[in-house]
Amino acid sequence: MDNTTEKKKIMLSGIKPTGDLTLGSYLGAIKNWAERAEQFDCYYFMADLHALTTRNDPALLRRRTLEQLAQYVACGLDPQKNTLFIQSHVPAHAELGWILNCYTMFGELSRMTQFKDKSAKNADNINGGLFTYPSLMAADILLYQPDFVPVGDDQKQHVELTRDIANRFNNLYGETFRMPEPFIPKVGARVMDLLNPHSKMSKSDEVGNGRVCLMDAPEDIMRKFKRAVTDSDSERCVRYAPEEKPGVANLMSIYAAVTGKSFAEIEAEFEGQGYGVFKPTVGEAVVETLRPIREEATRIMKDKAYLENLCREGAERASYIANKTLRKVYKKVGLVAR
């Protein structure tokens, strides 16, 4: 009888705790993450060191970091099945980040499109961290020897650079880092801005009238849905036609995602009723979907002992793996062992 169990592949993802998690974040991604723990050994970290490339209110950054951690748990990421931690609580990230800086070429960093984009948006604060953060991102990834890194289109370039850095290091010192593969995540509902259905709902939109956040009060959610853009044609019916009626299609997509109903079922449900009934009904469905998440996240934030324990246990589990990689790197490059 074979008593061996197949080892799970490792997956890692880091998320900056800037901005507020939205309905789009949940329906488009987080809702599906809980299922990953059955297939993968998952590491999720709050990338607070990366947040320092822009100026933040210190108290707000601390609060958002803890809130984001609490919200992930409230969304179904079981800390016993997933390693959840704060990046700065695992010093190996910053330590390997510096070492990999020394194995990343200036030209490679210069070609990073996100550096160009963020420099244009932050012309008064083009700091060294903004330039070299892809090396820290490479350290974030390579520390855990992951098989897969979930990426969107805007991050593929960074995973490619991570592979280049790992390959360069391995060629110099022998096999040290596993070569991570980009993982195209299962995409849930694509949620657009309620006031501009041509733009994705964004957690960085500080005004927020077109976005719904996970921690929004029910009355605020209802107000936003009642004001949501539909269309101005004379038909004024609930019909899924993304090109003709993008606002209505967005609301239908949201309603379908939170109720499990098909577009045909939604069209039949609201036949002859118009938007005055449709929009509040979608709002109410979203309120009830987010209610348990908001209540659980609020409970966690009030339970300081639980939150501290969550941070400590996550950091300890992450550090155990990260430090094994770091010790190997220290030895390879000639640093004296601690």
pLDDT band at 153 (very low <50, low <70, confident <90, very high): low
In a domain, 242, yes or no: yes
Calculate the CA 116 to chain-centre distance. Answer: 22
**98: how many CB neighbours lie within 10 A of its CB?**
12
Of 8, 9, 81, 118, the catalytic one is: 118
Q: Is the pLDDT of residue 2 over 60?
A: no
In a domain, 2, yes or no: no
Same domain, 112 and 236: no
What is the C-alpha separation between 85 and 94, in angstroms, rounded?
A: 15
What is the C-alpha separation between 256 and 250, in angstroms, rounded?
A: 10
19/41: higher pLDDT: 41
Q: Which of 170, 181, 177 is nearest to 144 (CA)?
A: 177
Contacts of 143 (CB under 8 A, 6+ apart): 90, 92, 93, 96, 321, 322, 325, 326
Q: Is the pLDDT of residue 3 over 50?
A: no
Q: Is the pLDDT of residue 4 over 50?
A: no
In a domain, 208, yes or no: no
Same domain, 230 and 119: no
* CATH code, domain with 261: 1.10.240.10
pLDDT band at 233 (very low <50, low <70, confident <90, very high): low
Same domain, 227 and 162: no
How many domains does the chain contain in total? 2
In a domain, 259, yes or no: yes
Same domain, 98 and 160: yes
Q: How does the average pLDDT of the chain come out, rounded?
A: 89
What residue type is assigned to position 202 of the chain?
Answer: S
In a domain, 4, yes or no: no
In a domain, 318, yes or no: yes
pLDDT band at 225 (very low <50, low <70, confident <90, very high): very high
User: What pLDDT, on the 0 to 100 scale, is given for residue 334?
Assistant: 97
Q: Is the pLDDT of residue 113 over 80?
A: no
Same domain, 151 and 247: no
User: What pLDDT, on the 0 to 100 scale, is given for residue 99?
Assistant: 97
Of 31, 203, 224, 279, the catalytic one is: 203
pLDDT digits (tens, 9 = 90+) for 29-56: 888 888 899 999 999 999 999 999 888 8
pTM score of the predicted model = 0.86
Token pair 């640093």 in the structure block, residue: 335
Same domain, 320 and 285: no
Element at 85 (helix H, strand E): strand 82-86
What is the C-alpha separation between 110 and 130, in angstroms, rounded?
A: 11
pLDDT band at 1 (very low <50, low <70, confident <90, very high): very low
Of 8, 81, 200, 226, the catalytic one is: 200
Same domain, 84 and 147: yes
Same domain, 307 and 292: no
157/1: higher pLDDT: 157
- Whether 203 is catalytic: yes
294/127: higher pLDDT: 294
Calculate the CA 125 to chain-centre distance. Answer: 24
Q: Is the pLDDT of residue 310 over 50?
A: yes
Mean pLDDT of 131-152: 91
Mean pLDDT of 102-125: 80
Same domain, 308 and 321: yes
In a domain, 197, yes or no: no
In a domain, 193, yes or no: no
Token pair 């409230």 in the structure block, residue: 74
Mean pLDDT of 108-131: 77
Same domain, 31 and 166: yes
The residue segments making up the domain with residue 253 are 218-298
User: What pLDDT, on the 0 to 100 scale, is given for residue 241?
Assistant: 87
User: What pLDDT, on the 0 to 100 scale, is given for residue 124?
Assistant: 76
- Whether 16 is catalytic: no
Same domain, 258 and 308: no
pLDDT band at 253 (very low <50, low <70, confident <90, very high): very high
User: What pLDDT, on the 0 to 100 scale, is given for residue 87?
Assistant: 97
Q: Is the pLDDT of residue 10 over 70?
A: yes
Contacts of 112 (CB under 8 A, 6+ apart): 134, 157, 158, 161
- Whether 332 is catalytic: no
pLDDT digits (tens, 9 = 90+) for 177-214: 999 998 877 666 789 999 999 888 876 666 678 999 99
What is the C-alpha separation between 24 and 197, in angstroms, rounded?
A: 12
Q: Which of 50, 56, 140, 42 is nearest to 90 (CA)?
A: 140
Tokens in use for 8? 């799970």
Q: Is the pLDDT of residue 294 over 90?
A: yes
Contacts of 261 (CB under 8 A, 6+ apart): 255, 269
Same domain, 49 and 100: yes
pLDDT band at 228 (very low <50, low <70, confident <90, very high): very high
* CATH code, domain with 81: 3.40.50.620
- Contact indicator for 62, 290 with CB cutoff of 8 Å: no
